[in-house]
Amino acid sequence: MDYCLTDEQKMIVELARKVAQEKIKPVRQEYDESGEFPWDIVKELSQADLMGLYIAQEYGGFGGGVMELCLAVEELCKVDGGISLALAATALGTFPIILFGTDEQKKKYLPRIAKGEALAAFGLTEPESGSDAGATKTTAKKEGDYYILNGTKCFITNGGMAEIYSVIAMTDKARGSRGASAFIVEKGTPGFTFGKKENKMGIRASATCELIFQDCKVPKANLLGKEGAGFIVAMKTLDQSRPGVAAQALGIAAGALDESIEYAKTRKQFDHPISSFQAIQHMLANMATEVEAARALVYAVARAVDKGDKDVSGASAMSKLYASDVAMRVTTDAVQIFGGYGYMKEYPVEKMMRDAKITQIYEGTNQIQRNVIALDLIKKSAKKK
C-alpha cells in the first residue's frame, strides 16, 4: 500500500532495510543466544546516520520526527526486535530533553546522541513503581547547586550501556505525583552505579539493567523543566514514544508474516506446498490484514504527534495497544504455520514470538493503555456537553 511517504522517508526505509538485512540478520541468532549488547550494530546505525533521525538539524540530527523514527524502527524490527532497541530506547531517553530541555541542555547532549557517540535511556520504573508512576520512591534532595539522588530504578532499557539518562525522582513526596521532578544524569557521575542485568525471555540483545543512586550529586543545571514537573515530563514523553513501541511491534509482526509466506510456499505436505491449503491461506490473510491495519494506525498517530497535535494521549495509547496485540497474534500464528520447526530456535519465528510479548508489557502494559484510552474518551465526551 502507498502510505504517501516522502522521498526522504522512502530513503530512510531503504537504508534501515539495508542495515537490517546485511548487518543484523546474519548475527541475530548469535546475539539472541549470548545476550550481549550489539555495539557493532550501533556503529553501523551511527554510520548510516540513523541515530539522529528525530533530532533537529541545529543539534546535528536529520531533522525528522516520530514518523521517521517509526519507519526505521519498523524496518529494523522486521529482522530483530531486540537489537533495534539501541535506537528506539535511546529515543525514549532523548525525548525528555527534546521536549523540556533548555537550549543549553540540548546543545550539550543532543549532538552526541545524534552522531551515535552516546546512547540514552529513560529511568522511570522502580521495583514497586511500574504503572503507578506516582509511587516513585527515588528521591532528589536539593543541596546548594546540586540535587542528591537516592533510590533504585529497574528494567531500564539500555541500562549500563547508555551515557545519558533521563531520570524521574521525587523532590517533594508530600505532593505525590506532583512532587516528582526530572533530571539528566550522566554515566560516571559519582554515586550512580548499575545493578542487576536482567536475563530475559526475549529482546535479549537489548540491555535491561538496574540503575542505583547512592548520594548521587546531580548539578541543578541538569533539572529538566521545573521542580514538580516530573510526572508531566514522563507522560508527555510516553505520548511521544509509544508510537515507537508500536512500530517495534509492527515490525516484528511484519517480519513474522514475511517469514510465514516464504515458508508456506516451500514447505510441502501431501505433495503440495502448504500455501495451497485454505486453512493456511486464511491464516496468512488474517495476519496480513492485521499488519496493514496496525501500520495505518501507527503512521497516523506518528504524523499527528509530529504535526503538534496537543491531544494525542489516547491515540498514542491505541497505537501501542493495537500493534502489540497484533504482534502477539501474528507471531503465534507464524509459529503455528511453521509447525514443529516453528518451535525450534534455528527458525526465526520462535524468537519473534518471544520478542513480541514485551511490547504488550513495557512503556505501560496494555491494560494501562486501555485505561488511558477510556479516560481520554470520557474526557473528550465531557467537553462536548
Q: Which amino acid is at 119?
A: L
Q: Domain ranges in the chain?
A: 7-114, 120-230, 231-384
- Quick: pLDDT tens for 200-218: 999 999 999 999 999 999 9
State the CATH architecture for 231-384: Up-down Bundle (1.20)
- Quick: pLDDT tens for 63-101: 999 999 999 999 999 999 999 999 999 999 999 999 999
- Quick: pLDDT tens for 259-285: 999 999 999 999 999 999 999 999 999
Decide if 227 is catalytic: no
Residues 112-129 have a mean pLDDT of 96
Whole-angstrom distance, CA of residue 18 vs CA of residue 12? 10
- Quick: pLDDT tens for 27-70: 999 999 999 999 999 999 999 999 999 999 999 999 999 999 99
Alpha helices in 184-229 (DSSP H): none
Of 126, 210, 259, 363, catalytic: 363
How, if at all, do strands 120-123 and 164-170 pair? Answer: parallel
Using an 8 Å Cβ cutoff, are 151 and 126 in contact? yes
Q: Which amino acid is at 325?
A: D
Axis-axis angle for helices 39-47, 85-100 (nearest 10): 60
Confidence band for 375, pLDDT divided at 50, 70 and 90: very high
Which CATH class for the 120-230 domain?
Answer: mainly beta
291 phi and psi angles, rounded to 5 deg: -60, -45
Half-sphere exposure of 223 (CA within 13 A, CB side): 19
Whole-angstrom distance, CA of residue 183 vs CA of residue 1? 42
**CATH of region 7-114, choose from 1.10.10.60, 3.30.870.10, 1.10.540.10, 3.10.20.30:** 1.10.540.10
User: Helix (H, G, I), strand (E, B), or coil: what is residue 159?
Assistant: coil
Whole-angstrom distance, CA of residue 59 vs CA of residue 120? 15
For cell 548487518, name the residue: 23
Q: Which of 333, 323, 313 is nearest to 359 (CA)?
A: 323
Q: Which residue has the higher pLDDT, 131 or 224?
A: 224
